[in-house]
Amino acid sequence: MNFDLDDDQRVFAEAARDFFTGTASPADARKSLDGDAPTAPGRQAIADIGFYGITVPEAAGGAGQSVLDLAVVAEQAGRVLAGPSLVTAARASVLLEGDDKRLAGLADGSVSYAVVDAPGAPALDAATATRFLSRDGDDLVLSSGTVTVGDPIDPTRGLGTVELTDSEVIASGIGERWDRAERVARIILAAEGLGAAARAVEMGVAYAKEREAFGRQIGSYQAIKHMLVDSFVGVEQLRSLVWWAAWTADESAAELPLAAASAKASAAGVLEQAAETLIQVHGGIGFTWEHDAHLYWRRAKVDRLLLGDAASAFDEVARLALASAPTNAPDPAPVELEPTTAS
Amino acid sequence: MDFDDTPDEAAWRESVRSFITAHRDELGHRGARNGRDDVPAAKASQACMFDGGFVGVTWPVEYGGQGGTPMQQAIVDQEMARAGVPSLINLIGIGMCGPTVIAHGSDDQKQRYLQRLLRSDDIWCQLFSEPASGSDLAALRTKAVQDDNGDWHVTGQKVWTTGAQIADYGILLTRTNPDVAKHKGLTMFVVDMHAPGVTVRPLRQMSGGADFNEVFFDDVVIPDSERLGDVDNGWRVALTTLMSERLSLGGGGTDIGVGIDAVIEHSANRLSSLSSDQQALARQELGRAYVASLGIRYTGYRQLSAISRGESPGPEASAGKLAGTVASRAMASYAVRLLGQEGVFARTADGSDTWQHLEAVLPGMAIAGGTDQVLRNVLGERVLGLPTEPRSDKNAPVKSAPAGGQQ
């Protein structure tokens, strides 16, 4: 067993970090919130560096890499609250499997896709999309549409409700493919959440070392320290779940439903906790418009509800676990614990 | 990234599995609360595993180990759990005392103690905490004074010592110089638990069990040859022990308490007796427990992978224990609530007390081996690099400090 990124993936992560920190920042997210500024780095820039095509086959102009590779990049996108989301690209590249022409348009950024789960449901990246993928029974439908953008909590998500027009069935018998696409999307959403949460913890730690109150740095107070540690421990658990889930998408189809639901459910809570801790650690400045903390908080409050909320994801985890459990078996062996000294 | 066994790991797993199958009767079955209620059987079980070459896997060959990898040890643990083989009775010796002797003991000590420890010919315990110094370990007061012959005379009291009632030896942290800062005047010894002047008194816990003990030292004589490391250098020796403890408690993603599979099985048997609303809520809670356990398992795998690459286990290992106790307590509480009103009884009508017992044990697990709060300090300061809590007594000699703590 070797549960770690390989050297290529580390190099890839570095490159992605350089790209995203050079092209997007929470300040861009604030600009979008203040006015009509586009999300950064924007569709074409992400396409040009090749990140929309990571999981698109080489024959269709992509890189033919793994979901894990994409997750590694998505984490870096999440750190700076980049948009449009790699979630949409990940999902569309599964839905368009075998359709090399359309995959090429996805990968090179010439066509902007969004996926519509249900009429009236907010769709990720719909605000800037021109082509919409949806499901009608077992058919995959491609449509144009009219997008209504409401008052977004997080403008980087490009959320909108879509009225579909000019629909065309482009594939049939796609039930399993639809489910797989949704699961891969959940994993990439969790990966973006991982990056955002990790960055929130870093920002909180940096401030706790710098800010002084009552004659000492506030990070020396256990009340502050312990909040940050709990967020950090959550982030590390989430990192393990995201990597595992991405690996199952590539290598272990049987575990994918459980792993994707686990990563999604964990991400919702971990990012919320990290973002709320970030505000709390900063005190008064933490809830001002000018500080970045609320931009991470906004991301958390939106992401928790996308692609199913945490409650439904936990429910799915439980159903999958129960489905594989033996029933009416004797109770398990009594507890065997090895406590040690309280030192 | 690859979760499958490597060919070497698969071969090792197969050898563990076939050994356990071949020696099923000698090994006994997991079932006793811990091995301390039938010591001879537990010792025989460990000796059998030792003879097979599966105890102290990561220890050097010259001390009776296999010179193996942490991954091989993890595979042994997994296979023992899968087969329902009881945990080793001498875990504290193997996980904490032995590594300390290996790092700081004399050649003579290593020859005399280590192999017998692995076979569980001798059971070991760790004598660190005191009534007035649990988390504040370095504030301990049990004193060791050297006489003209070079022998040390130890007087004082330890507490929360796991397994002292069955131990043959212990590693004992003492104060040898009360006039210097508290971390500086400590010395570590190996103590014979059968020596005159040693009195062990079990402490009954809220769970009803008695795993911990008070240990009294009344002018116990320890030859200088039983010293571990240099005089007044005991803190450094103790850090070796604590690092090993952290890893053995929180490393490898092992379950704390009953594993999640047992909780799922319990749920599968009980859920149907609930209303559909209650079932929906219970499923969410089960899902939450399962996700927590998966997070701990895979974070443990990341640690094992890092250790396999040659990285040494750092303070990150504390995160595993912290996450584990938090998740286990939520899991136990959920499992008891699934019993419905029957959960008010310590034992249900069918005679089972698994979940009630677990719930009563876990508050202690959140304290033993470093409280959740101390672990948060360790992680905050050593991993996140946050400033330390001011310590007014850090440089003060212990003799000038006021007596405090729980008496």
pLDDT for res B31: 67
Closest by CA to A55, choosing from A236, A237, A246, A240, is: A246
Pick among B69, B240, B291 to test the A interface (most A CBs inside 10 A): B291
Chain A residues touching residue B273 (CB < 8 angstroms)? none
Cα–Cα dist B23/B15, whole Å:
12
Round the average pLDDT of chain B to a whole number and report it: 90
10 Å CB burial of residue A170 (0-12, 13-18, 19+) is middle
Q: Is A240 an 8 Å CB contact of chain B?
A: yes
Contact between chains at A1 and B71 (C-beta distance less than 8 A): yes
Of A222, A335, A343, the CB nearest to B137: A343
pLDDT at B402: 47
- H helices, E strands: number in chain A: 11, 6
Q: Nearest Cβ partner of B160 from A230, A337, A341? A: A341
Both structure tokens of B116: 């017998």
- CB contacts < 8 Å between A and B, how many? 258
Q: Is A247 on the interface with B (CB under 8 A)?
A: yes
Q: Is the pLDDT of residue B403 over 90?
A: no
- Cα–Cα dist A192/A72, whole Å: 9
- Is the CB of A237 less than 8 angstroms away from the CB of B31? no
Nearest CB neighbour to B323, from listed A220, A233, A247: A233
Residue B406 has pLDDT above 50, yes or no: no
Amino acid identity, residue A342?
A
Q: State whether A340 and B92 contact (CB < 8 Å).
A: yes
Of B257, B299, B309, which has the smallest distance from its Cβ to A337's Cβ? Answer: B257
pLDDT the model gives residue B255: 66
Whether the pLDDT of residue B249 is over 80: the answer is no
Torsion sign, CA atoms B389, B394, B395, B396: positive
Q: What pLDDT is stored for residue B61 in this prediction?
A: 95
**pLDDT computed for residue B99 by the predictor:** 94
The CB density around residue A297, as the number of other CB atoms within 10 Å, is 22
**Cα–Cα–Cα angle for B64, B68, B74, rounded to 5 degrees:** 110
For A153-157, B215-219, B244-248, B358-362, which range has the lowest pLDDT when averaged over its residues? B244-248
- Banded pLDDT at B254 (limits 50, 70, 90): low
- Listed in sequence order, the residues at least 6 apart from B250 whose beta carbon sits closer than 8 Å to its beta carbon are B317, B318, B319, B320, B321, B322, B323, B324
Q: Which residues of B touch A331 (CB under 8 A)?
A: 266, 350, 352, 354
Query: What's the ipTM?
Result: 0.94
Lowest mean pLDDT among A63-72, B241-250, B279-288, B348-357: B241-250
Residue range B322-337: mean pLDDT, rounded? 93
Residues of chain A with Cβ-Cβ distance to B262 below 8 Å are 332
Alpha carbon of B247 to those of A131, A337, B91, B139: distances in Å? 53, 16, 12, 24
Q: How far is B213 from chain A (nearest CA, A)?
A: 9
Q: Do B291 and A262 touch (CB under 8 A)?
A: yes
Which of B1, B188, B377 to mutate: most A Cβ within 10 Å? B1
Q: Does A129 touch chain B (CB under 8 A)?
A: no
Is A319 at the interface with chain B, CB within 8 A? Answer: yes
Answer yes or no: do A334 and B388 touch at CB < 8 A.
no
Asked if pLDDT for residue B223 goes beyond 80, the answer is yes
Tokens for A90? 């990940």
Any idea what DSSP says for residue B352? -
pLDDT tens-digit series, residues A82-110: 999 999 999 999 999 999 999 999 999 99
Q: Tell whether A322 lies on the interface with B, counting CB pairs under 8 A.
A: yes
Give the rounded percent of residues in chain B with a pLDDT score beyond 70.
94
Q: Please spell the DSSP secondary structure of B97-162, one letter per residue.
A: IHHHHHHH--HHHHHHHHHHHHHTSS-EEEE--BTTBSSSGGG---EEEE-TTS-EEEEEEE-S-T
Name the residue facing A1 among B3, B268, B377 (closest C-beta): B3
Measured in angstroms, the CA of A285 and the nearest CA of chain B are apart by 20
A223 touches chain B (CB under 8 A): no
Contact assignment for A232 to B6 by CB distance below 8 Å: no
- CB-based contact B370 A247, cutoff 8 Å: no
Q: Which residues of chain A have pLDDT under 50?
A: 330-332, 334, 339-343
Q: Residue A178 corresponds to which tokens in the numbers above?
A: 């639809």
Closest residue in A to B254 (Cα–Cα) = A337
State pTM to two decimals.
Answer: 0.93
- Whether chain B has a CB inside 8 Å of the CB on A230: the answer is yes
Q: Would you say A25 and A40 are in contact if contact means Cβ atoms under 8 Å apart? A: yes
| Cβ(A196)–Cβ(A300) below 8 Å | yes
Q: Please report residues of B whose CB lies closer than 8 A to that of A228.
A: 380, 384, 386
Which pLDDT score is estimated for B247? 65
Q: Is A240–B390 a contact, with Cβ atoms under 8 angstroms apart? A: no
For chain A, positions 65-104, list CB contacts with chain B under 8 A: 68
CB contact A266 to B (< 8 Å): yes
Which of residues A303 and B34 earns the better pLDDT score? A303
Closest listed residue to residue B292, CA positions, set A227, A332, A241? A241
| A340 has a chain B CB within 8 A of its CB | yes
Residues of B in Cβ contact (< 8 Å) with A332? 258-259, 262, 265-266, 354
Is the pLDDT reported for residue B141 higher than 80?
yes
The confidence band for B312, taking pLDDT boundaries of 50, 70 and 90, is confident
User: Can you give the pLDDT at residue B407?
Assistant: 37
Cβ–Cβ of B2/A209 closer than 8 Å?
no
- Cα-Cα end-to-end distance for chain B: 52
**Two structure tokens written together for B158:** 């330890």
Give contacts of A 188-217 with B, CB under 8 A: 201, 205, 208-209, 216-217
Categorize the per-residue pLDDT at B400 as very low, low, confident or very high, splitting at 50, 70 and 90: low
| A299 close to A156: Cβ distance less than 8 angstroms | yes
Give the chain B residue nearest A235 (alpha carbons): B295
Residue B262 exposure: Cα atoms within 13 Å on the Cβ side: 22
Residue A101, CA distances (Å) to A105, A113, A167, B216 in order: 7, 14, 18, 80
Q: Contact B386/A317, CB-based, under 8 Å?
A: no
Closest residue by Cα to residue B262 from A2, A325, A214: A325
> How many Å apart are CA B327 and CA B288, to the nearest integer?
9
Nearest residue to B282 (alpha-carbon basis) of A87, A263, A109, A314 = A314
